[in-house]
Chains A and B, each alone.
Chain A
Amino acid sequence: MSSHATRRLILLSLLVLIAAVLTLMNPVFLTAGNLLKLLQEASQTGIVAVGFTLVMISAGIDMSIGGIIALTAMVSINFISYTKLPVYVFVPLTLLVGVAAGFFNGFFITRFKLPEFIVTLATKGILSGLALVIAVKDSMGFVQNVYIQNEAYLWFGSSTFGGLYRTTIAFVLLGVGTQFFLKNTRGGTNIYATGANASAAKLTGISTERTVMGVYVFSGFCASLAAIFISSRMMTAMPELGIGSEMDVIASVVIGGTTFAGGMGDIWGTMIGSVFLALIKNGILKLGISPWIQPIVIGGIIVLTVIIDVWQKKLSDRLATKSKLRKIASAPGRRAA
């Protein structure tokens, strides 16, 4: 586990280093206002990334999160525009969008054993289409930009004591809770076992189907939760909201040390990863670099991180076989006389 600790240490040092450089280049960076905003941005991506981490630990992938965010936001807007339901009634109902989408993904994956990538990509198409269909439209049929004025709903995206955003509080609570679940409960152990060695897990008596279903449902829930916070913070929502956000989410998770092969990773890493990503995006902004660089940086980070992780694994495997071979070679091989 030492390589894991080293990796995390390097990541944290990089985080501090980049923050220090940014402060030197633009003092505005180290103001409370900017840092709180940075954390708020990190939290918006981070909430989705928490659910996504569980999917990746189980060796799956959820490409539908963007669609879930869009549809959730549209459902929410519809409730606000057309009903007088109080927030505490419609927000929980809205969260069911993600849960249902997760069930849909999980059903096709576990029941028919279809490839997870394509199933969730198809779900994304369906959900983003639905988001467009139910979007609030004007008399000409064009999508209308609804300005959210529901005070109770805006509560979610606003800040509280000390300027800390509620999104950030929610992210930390969700993160800590999920980390505890992963590391300290049977459910969490089952996710690791399913991702690392599904057939062994099955043989030991773990229901891998239920585990897979569970992680997709949770991922959907997290995406829906994020949609509430994002739309509340923006005070509006378009049916395109969240489309394309999967790259930010994947970047956060991968930077945090969770691998696509499954069975590895944790929420602490993802939390650091989302702050890291927000820091870099914030830095690009604060240094006045063209925002067009952003996708290049995000794409680049994902590829580089994954390459480094693959190399590191290869290296440690090679060292392991070498020491094993040495052991075999040095063992007294009895030569027949």
Chain B
Amino acid sequence: MKRKSIPTELKLAGVLALLMAALSILSPRFLTLDNLTNVIWSVCLIGILSSGAIYPRITGGIDLSLGSMAALMGIVADLFMNKLGVHWIPSILLTMAIGGSIGLFNGFIVAKIKVPAFVVTMAAKTYLYGVALVVSQGAMLAILKPQPFIAIGTGRFLGLPNPIYIMLVLVVASQFLLKKTAFGRKVMAVGANEVAAKLSGVDPDAIRLASYAISGVTSAIGGVVLASLTQQVFAAAASGIELEVMTALVIGGTSPVGGKGSIVGALLGAIMVAFIINGLNLLNIPAPFHPIVTGVVILLALLLNEGHLSIRGLGLGRSAGRQASI
């Protein structure tokens, strides 16, 4: 096996550049400021969610609840501001706290009771959707006030939409947390080898709990941004986005078996997915083809990134392999 010496991020940037070149040749509309801003905009939500969802993923787990969670958190924020009359700033902070708590609850079941992460979070996705239906009375609610809240998603700063700044702040913060702090080191260690991490003084359960809590908080932020951007909330507002987030993470080189991952890579992955879909639109390829392309892209990315995983071979039982390879 050849050693990879070029970092995944650099390779991704290269592929992205090629993709952009191809698209600008195929469609003259591609390289316009409007179109590019649009693409980045559509990347924002995925980027915000990925910045937190990467943590459970690196520890070897997964958070599939983030779509339902984001929708629910939008509804909750609306509830605080427009039904209970709370000021928008504490409303958002409360929403983030609730998101974090739900994430913590998921983490508790995963870390302490040792239930497979995908079961826990998939079930959470379902019941959070139900809670969202109940809280919103199954309706699509319009949010027209308060003005500062609406400005979060719709406003612009220096000509660029606000969500881009929010995403960039989160991505930078997440990258800092992952690469520069003791916590990030511990997350990576738990994903790479839980036993070795434990013997080096890391508490894997605590790390897992925190990882899911972080994903909960970023889901809440994503929900707030989405609500303010679209000026409406409903239970299915972000359904299916977990697939796009997972695609971004897989493309970005986050290993499905844990212990590897890069938030910059995930962001590049999100941009790539958005570019591909944008390209399909520009080339007048109908929307139904988009999930097909996403699916194929995941499979291709997996084959490229994880193809060498087949050397796991006999040593690991299939059941052990499955547990690890969610």
A: residues with CB less than 8 A from B are 58-61, 108, 112-119, 121-126, 128-130, 132-133, 135, 141, 194-200, 202, 208, 212, 239, 247, 250, 260-263, 290, 292-300, 302-303, 306-307, 310-311
Contact = CB atoms under 8 A, between A and B. Distances in A.
Given A59-B319, A307-B109, A295 B302 contact: no
Contacts of A119: 299, 302
Given A115-B306, A117-B326, A135-B288, 8 more contacts: A112-B306, A112-B307, A115-B302, A117-B325, A122-B294, A212-B318, A294-B130, A306-B119
Interface stretch (B31-39, B91-99, B110-118, B210-218): B110-118
Contact of B246 (A112, A121, A239): A121
The secondary structure that dominates the A interface is helix
A28 B114 CA distance: 42
Interface in B299-326: 299, 302-303, 306-307, 309-310, 312, 314-319, 321-323, 325-326
Given A114-B303, A306-B119, A125 B126 contact: no
A129 B302 contact: no
Interface string B3-30: 0000000000000000000000000000
A51 B302 CA distance: 26
A290 B134 contact: yes
A54 to B, nearest CB: 14
A292 B115 contact: no
Interface of B: 62, 109, 113-116, 118-120, 122-131, 133-134, 137-138, 243, 246, 250, 256-257, 286-296, 298-299, 302-303, 306-307, 309-310, 312, 314-319, 321-323, 325-326
Nearest to B137: A292
The secondary structure that dominates the B interface is helix
Contacts of A130: 292
A125 B298 contact: yes
Contacts of A294: 130
B113 A295 contact: no
27 contacts: A60-B322, A113-B310, A114-B302, A115-B326, A117-B62, A118-B298, A118-B302, A122-B302, A125-B291, A132-B288, A135-B288, A195-B318, A197-B319, A200-B317, A292-B134, A293-B130, A295-B129, A296-B131, A298-B127, A299-B125, A300-B123, A302-B123, A303-B124, A306-B115, A306-B119, A307-B109, A310-B114
B295 A300 contact: no
B223 to A, nearest CB: 17
B291 A128 contact: yes
A116 B126 contact: no
A119 B294 CA distance: 12
B124 A299 contact: yes
Given A115-B326, A118-B256, A262-B319, A292 B292 contact: no
Which residue, B134, B286, B288, has most C-beta atoms of chain A within 10 A?
B288
A129 B326 contact: no
B120 A112 contact: no
Contacts of A115: 256-257, 302, 306, 322, 325-326
